[in-house]
């Protein structure tokens, strides 16, 4: 190799090293973090009072799949939050007992990674999973129970009583709060590490070039400003700030008292069509277009950018924990 060629090669090499370290810095600055996988690491992220044990998780899983938690014993949490799919139901509007549609035309969000959200529900009215789980049990258009009926039903099943005692101590009072705490213990295990996390953990080839391009666009365009943190969503943010949402008149949801909306996690977003709080957008590419237009005032996002973003979103499809239906108490 002659002298000039040598200089060119050295220059090219240092450019590509610089470019890749810039990229890594921009990922760090954006605050992106890999999902933890070990139970100890997950426990560190959460309230110590809610530490998980195998018995608590197994009990919570049974309750999650048990239709006894609905008035006519026809549906369970799993009916609307299908763990074999993306953790939701694939419907535009959720359907509860007696085929009742959500009165505000609300779309079911995913339970996967919900433990990492700052707030629960589209309007963020609940602070955590333990509190959230009580909502659907009592809503007349979801599971239609009362607190008293829930407590009576669970306490009438000897195997549940034993399981609660084994999981939470023999003096446990199996009241409504305690039942919700048990369900939440299972939900806390519903995290789905993906190739994106492998990439953040240092496995450079876990994302291909197109997916990395999508990630760059995601950061550079400012999607990351709202779809933030380890859940890539889960905080309360303004909605339709640059333009009006095309389907704002479907249902009567207006966000919280300040008009803020809980940002959906984009983990497993490819599996969770239809999109938005009222489930009005079926195609992911249309959701991205609408987001660009109404949040970022970008009316003409390039098709190739949308393709790259979708490729990146596929890399967020996570590995699911064991999702087989458990054997329920007799």
Q: Which of 62, 128, 132, 192 touches ligand HEC by CB under 6 A?
A: 132
CA pair distance 326, 238, nearest whole angstrom:
40
- Cβ closest to ligand HEC, residue 117 vs residue 168: 117
Site string for ligand HEC, 99-118 (x = CB under 6 A): ---x---x-xx-x--x--x-
- Cβ closest to ligand HEC, residue 193 vs residue 268: 268
Instruction: Tell me how far, at minimum, the Cβ of 131 lies from ligand HEC, in Å.
Output: 10
Q: Which of 32, 116, 137, 174 touches ligand HEC by CB under 6 A?
A: 137
Instruction: Tell me how far, at minimum, the Cβ of 20 lies from ligand HEC, in Å.
Output: 23
Instruction: Tell me how far, at minimum, the Cβ of 169 lies from ligand HEC, in Å.
Output: 23
Instruction: Tell me how far, at minimum, the Cβ of 159 lies from ligand HEC, in Å.
Output: 19
Instruction: Tell me how far, at minimum, the Cβ of 198 lies from ligand HEC, in Å.
Output: 22
Contact between 143 and ligand HEC (CB under 6 A)? yes
228 secondary structure, DSSP code:
-
- Cβ closest to ligand HEC, residue 207 vs residue 288: 288
Residue with tokens 């009215």: 125
Q: How far is CA 117 from CA 18, 83, 121, 160, in A?
A: 34, 18, 10, 29
List the one residue out of 218, 284, 301 whose CA is nearest residue 32.
Answer: 218
Please work out, in degrees rounded to the nearest 5, the angle formed at the alpha carbon of residue 235 by the alpha carbons of 259 and 203. 150
Please work out, in degrees rounded to the nearest 5, the angle formed at the alpha carbon of residue 308 by the alpha carbons of 89 and 17. 130
Q: Which of 185, 191, 226, 316 touches ligand HEC by CB under 6 A?
A: 226
Q: Are 299 and 244 in contact (CB under 8 A)?
A: no
Residue 244 annotated in active site:
no
Q: Are 312 and 266 in contact (CB under 8 A)?
A: no
Burial (CB count <10 Å: 0-12, 13-18, 19+), residue 252: exposed
**Active-site option among 40, 130, 142, 317:** 142
Residues 250-289 binding ligand HEC (CB under 6 A) are: 261-264, 269, 272, 275-277, 287-288
Site string for ligand HEC, 177-206 (x = CB under 6 A): ------x---x-------------------
Site string for ligand HEC, 60-99 (x = CB under 6 A): ---------x-----x-x-xxx------------xxx---
Instruction: Tell me how far, at minimum, the Cβ of 15 lies from ligand HEC, in Å.
Output: 28
User: Coil, helix or strand for 212?
Assistant: helix
Residue 35 token pair: 């999902």
Instruction: Tell me how far, at minimum, the Cβ of 275 lies from ligand HEC, in Å.
Output: 4
Q: How far apart are the first and last CA of the chain?
A: 79
List the one residue out of 285, 124, 295 whose CA is nearest residue 224.
Answer: 295
List the one residue out of 279, 325, 263 whose CA is nearest residue 82.
Answer: 325
Instruction: Give Cβ neighbours of residue 23 (< 8 Å, ≥ 6 apart).
Output: 212, 216
- Cβ closest to ligand HEC, residue 109 vs residue 193: 109
Contact between 31 and ligand HEC (CB under 6 A)? no
Q: What is the DSSP string of 91-131?
A: -SS-B-GGGPBPTT-PPPPP-TTGGG-SSBSTT--BSSHHH
Catalytic residues: 142
Would you tell me which residues interact with ligand HEC (CB under 6 A)? 69, 75, 77, 79-81, 94-96, 102, 106, 108-109, 111, 114, 117, 120-122, 129, 132-133, 136-137, 142-143, 183, 187, 221-223, 225-227, 237-239, 241, 261-264, 269, 272, 275-277, 287-288, 291-292, 295-296, 309
């Amino acid at each position: 190799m002659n002298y000039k060629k040598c200089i060119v090669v050295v220059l090219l090499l240092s450019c590509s090293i610089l470019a890749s370290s810039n990229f890594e810095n921009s990922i760090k600055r954006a605050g992106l973090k890999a999902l933890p996988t070990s139970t100890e690491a997950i426990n560190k992220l959460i309230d110590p009072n809610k530490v998980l044990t195998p018995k608590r998780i197994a009990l919570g899983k049974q309750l999650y799949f048990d239709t006894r938690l609905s008035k006519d014993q026809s549906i369970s949490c799993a009916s609307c939050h299908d763990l074999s799919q993306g953790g939701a139901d694939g419907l535009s509007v959720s359907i509860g007992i007696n085929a009742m549609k959500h009165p505000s035309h609300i779309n079911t969000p995913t339970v996967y990674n919900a433990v990492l959200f700052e707030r629960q529900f589209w309007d963020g009215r609940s602070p955590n999973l333990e509190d959230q789980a009580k909502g659907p049990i009592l809503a007349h258009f979801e599971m239609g129970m009362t607190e008293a009926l829930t407590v009576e039903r669970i306490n009438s099943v000897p195997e549940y009583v034993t399981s609660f005692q084994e999981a939470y101590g023999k003096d446990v009072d199996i009241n409504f709060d305690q039942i919700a705490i048990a369900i939440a213990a299972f939900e806390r295990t519903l995290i789905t590490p993906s190739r994106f996390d492998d990439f953040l953990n240092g496995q450079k080839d876990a994302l291909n070039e197109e997916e990395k391009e999508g990630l760059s666009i995601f950061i550079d365009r400012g999607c990351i400003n709202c779809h933030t943190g380890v859940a890539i969503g889960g905080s309360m943010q303004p909605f339709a700030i640059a333009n009006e949402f095309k389907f704002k008149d479907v249902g009567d949801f207006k966000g919280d008292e300040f008009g803020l909306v809980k940002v959906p996690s984009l983990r497993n977003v490819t599996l969770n069509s239809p999109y938005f709080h009222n489930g009005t957008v079926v195609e992911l590419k249309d959701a991205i277009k609408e987001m660009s237009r109404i949040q970022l005032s970008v009316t003409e996002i390039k098709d190739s950018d949308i393709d790259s973003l979708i490729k990146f979103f596929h890399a967020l499809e996570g590995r699911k924990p064991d999702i087989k239906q458990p054997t329920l108490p007799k």
